[in-house]
Structure 1
Amino acid sequence: MELILDKDIWDGFVEASPNGTLFHRWDFLQIVQKYTGYKLYPYGIYQKGELISVIPFFLRIHNGLKMMISPPPLPMANVPYLGFAMSPAFHELPPHEKIVAWDRIVREMHRGLKPSPNYVCIGQTSDISDTRPFEWQHYEVDQQYTYVLDLNKPLKEIWDGFDRDCRKNINECKTHPLSFREVNDVDRFNETMKEHLTRDGPTFYHRRDPAYLAELLRTFPANIKLYFFYNGDEIVGVKINLGYKKNYMSWMGNVSVRKGLSTNEYFYWELIKKAREDGYKRHENYGSYNPRLNLFKSKFNPALEPCFYVQKKDLLFSTMWRSYNAVAGFAKAIRVK
């Protein structure tokens, strides 16, 4: 395992990787480093001179303890997962060869991390579901979930799968002069999110300078889209969606600005149709643990797809973590899964 300092090599690998995401792209990682202050370590793992995996880590030092995390905590960058992006050749291996290679990759990662961390945390894409090599290295495993909608299905089949009340709400919205527009007003977006998430604060929107989102929009104009939803001339919703390769993600926003009108369901449906028209095959509405949000996301009949966070603490980190005073300090610095 060694650091990769060549953007073209890194992005070429991510683009070819079946589970490489926009979050793995070089410029995205550099922007995260710039605004979080966490130091980026873009590692590649080679076998017989061939690059077979990349994994970006971010270093956070707090009270002298070194934490290597991939991705940073959600309130810092709002990146739901990173972890390993694997080569096409790896994904095509037969089961026996794949588990042997995967075990070697995890062991090499664990051995090769520099500086040697007190804590490691990896949030992996749902494509990588085999956690056994991490367990063999005594990592703790936390299973989480994301919602996925298959956009290959006929549009009528997708519609018929929606909850009955959801379809009713969407049809009622059609009697209003609703529309959506792509905009770049990240300041208005951020203020709207902070205003409607006050009871959930401090959230990502309270912590992060809107310039972070503005730079992402400038850097990836074909992939990241900010939408304002209107009822006539009145803004009734805001949303940021992300598309890369075959995948389309409901990423940020989705707050209801105006009560009494089910605009969230209506615009969710409109953007699903747009994603299909744009050629995307998979729609992800990540996260399923918040009960209030879960009720909304499950209306659209998505599949529940598991994904995994793994973490490992050394003795020093575990000892300090058990200290009440240390916990109070760490809680401000990093969310540990």
Structure 2
Amino acid sequence: MTTGLIDDRETWDTFVDESASGRLFHKWDFMKITEKHTGFRFLPPYGVFKGNELIAVMPLFQKQLHRVNVLLSPPPPLQSVVPYLGFVMGRRYDTAKQSKKESMLKLVGDDLESEFAALAPPNYLSITQVPGFIDVRRFLREGYQTRLHFTYLIALDPPLDEIWNSFSSNLRTKLRKVEKNGYRLEKSTDISIFYSTVAERFSDPEMSIPMISRAYFEELFRAYPDELGLYYLYDDEGAVTGVQATQEYKAFTLWMGAPKMTAMPGNEFLQWLLLQQAKHAGGYRHMENVGGANNENLNLFKSKFNPSLTLFLEVSQEDFIGRVARWAYSTIASKSPMKRKVLSYIE
């Protein structure tokens, strides 16, 4: 096994397309745009080869501040709006027997550890894998810490009426009521309203994080016009009552939405309309609702759709300096304006 750099965008993207665990977040342009707008350097893209065969790729982002060296995959989600990333195994891994999978993972893990050691030793290293990729035993044996994250999935295989009947009775009543009020869904390329709702959410002093620029979203939507969608829900008077950005790549993903905008259950109806769209489009096994499963305030709302709960795992390692940095972030800087200046990239 050897580790090498991949300098060809087409090779990288084709590998991601063919892998079961590849996500839009892994695509070459997505990561380059993320680098540009978050201040994290996208390291030369690593590939693990067996002979001439590329069997894994590993995207890493680096930042150094005040002598603290941080390696992350992905950059902090509140700055990059990327909830998970991590390494991607090739399609041969996806169909292999378990013994072969474990052998391949061990070899990939060994090569990645060698690459981490060859870099300036990170004070803090964090890798968050995509949902469903749970075999992180190689990292556990090396003393990495593990954090559990959750996401919601709604299976799209059953008939639509079966999916509808699985919703809570309270939700079905609300949806019927809204349906009679003349609401309409429109797909748009105008990010103005979407960005204003995101800006309002992220400018909350309690969050105290760097603002995500409008240019970041504009570049992403230009780069992926077919894979990124933007939907507005209008009431019968033409007022926007719901906003949702989606990723329509392998899974139909509710990526970013707006907080509740009116007294009416517009967000619930918007999600129901998008679920129907994903179902009728075909080719999607699941609709994923990113983020809601990790937020206690959203659990009750999201769970009314009767989704399944799925794990995604974060592994991390830190030295003494990294621990001190994390302590400073959580106890000193997190409740003051210093949070924007001192280690704002460690979550």
- Do both proteins adopt the same fold according to a TM-score greater than 0.5, normalized to the shorter chain? yes
| Offset of residue 2 of structure 1 | 2.4
Query: Where do residues 168-183 of structure 1 align in structure 2 (5 Å cutoff)?
Result: 168-183=173-188
Letter in 2 for 1:64: R
In the TM superposition, 1:60-209 aligns within 5 A as: 60-113=63-116, 114-195=119-200, 201-202=206-207, 207-209=211-213
Q: Among 281, 285, 308, which residue is 2:285 paired with?
A: 281
Query: Per-residue deviation at 1:230?
Result: 0.3
Q: 1:295-314, aligned counterparts within 5 Å?
A: 295-314=300-319
* 146-155 or 192-201, larger mean C-alpha shift: 192-201
Please provide the CA RMSD for this pair.
Answer: 2.0
Q: 1:78 to 1:54 in 2, by over 3 A?
A: same
Q: Please give the secondary structure, in 2, of the residue aligned with 1:153.
A: coil
Call closer, same or farther: CA 1:284–1:11 in 2, change over 3 Å: same
Distance in 2 between the 1:237 and 1:196 partners? 14
Contact 1:75-1:203 within 8 A present in 2 as well:
no
Q: Residues 184 and 214 of structure 1 are in contact (CA less than 8 Å); yes or no, is this contact kept in structure 2? A: no
Q: Which residue of 1 aligns with 2:218?
A: 214
Alignment correspondent of 2:256: 252
Q: What's the % identity of the aligned pairs?
A: 32
Q: For residues 232 and 76 of structure 2, what CA distance do their matches in structure 1 show?
A: 27
**TM-score, with structure 1 as normaliser:** 0.93
The farther-off stretch of 278-287 and 53-62 is: 278-287
Distance 1:92 1:196, change over 3 A: closer
Once the two structures are superposed, what CA deviation does each residue of 1:15-58 show, in whole Å capped at 9, x if it has no partner? 11111010000010111011112110221111223111111100
Aligned to 1:50: 53
Offset of residue 185 of structure 1: 2.5
Structure 1 position 84, deviation (Å): 1.2
The code of the aligned residue for 2:270 comes to: F
Aligned residue in 1 for 2:25: 23
Change (3 A) 1:152 1:101: same
Q: Which runs of 5+ in 2 are unaligned?
A: none
* Contact 2:325–2:343, Cα closer than 8 Å, also in 1: no
For residues 327 and 198 of structure 2, the distance between their equivalents in structure 1, rounded to whole angstroms, comes to 34
Determine if contact 2:148/2:312 at 8 Å carries over to the other structure: yes
Report the number of matched residues. 333
SS in 1 for 2:31: helix
| Mapped partners of 1:34, 1:195: distance in 2 | 22
Identify if the C-alpha distance between structure 1 residues 120 and 198 changes in structure 2 by more than 3 Å, giving closer, same or farther: closer
The answer to whether the Cα contact below 8 Å between 1:170 and 1:265 also exists between their aligned partners in 2 is yes
Rounded to whole Å, the distance in 2 between the matches of 1:237 and 1:142 is: 32
Which secondary structure state, in structure 2, belongs to the residue aligned with residue 306 of structure 1? strand
- Check the 8 A contact 1:181/1:228 in 2, yes or no: yes
CA distance in 1, matches of 2:212, 2:201: 16
Residues 79 and 212 in structure 2, CA contact (< 8 A), matched pair in contact too:
yes
**2:234 corresponds to which letter in structure 1?**
Y
Q: Deviations over 1:265-309 (max 9, x none)?
A: 111111000011111221101221211111111110000011101
Question: Structure 2 length normalisation: TM-score?
Answer: 0.90
Structure 1 ranges of 4+ moved more than 3 A: 193-204, 319-327, 329-332
Question: Are 1:227 and 1:239, in contact at CA under 8 Å, matched by a contact in 2?
Answer: yes
> What is the Cα deviation at residue 60 of structure 1?
1.1
- Whether the 8 Å contact between 1:43 and 1:55 is mirrored in structure 2 is yes
Q: Is the 8 A contact 1:107 1:137 kept in 2?
A: no
Aligned to 2:346: 335
Residue 266 of structure 1, aligned match among 247, 265, 269: 269
AA in 2 matched with 1:93: A
CA distance in 1 between counterparts of 2:89 and 2:252 reads 20
Instruction: Call closer, same or farther: CA 1:312–1:327 in 2, change over 3 Å.
Output: farther
> Which amino acid is the alignment partner of residue 120 of structure 1?
L
User: Measured at CA, do residues 22 and 203 of structure 1 come closer, stay the same or move farther in structure 2, by a change above 3 Å?
Assistant: farther
Alpha-carbon distance between aligned partners in 2 of 1:300 and 1:142, rounded to the nearest angstrom: 26
Superposed displacement of residue 196, structure 1: 5.7
Q: Deviations over 1:123-174 (max 9, x none)?
A: 1012311121010111101111110111011111110110110000000001
Aligned residue for 1:160, secondary structure, equals helix
Contact 1:66 1:118 survives alignment (8 Å):
yes
Any unmatched runs of 5+ in structure 1? Answer: none
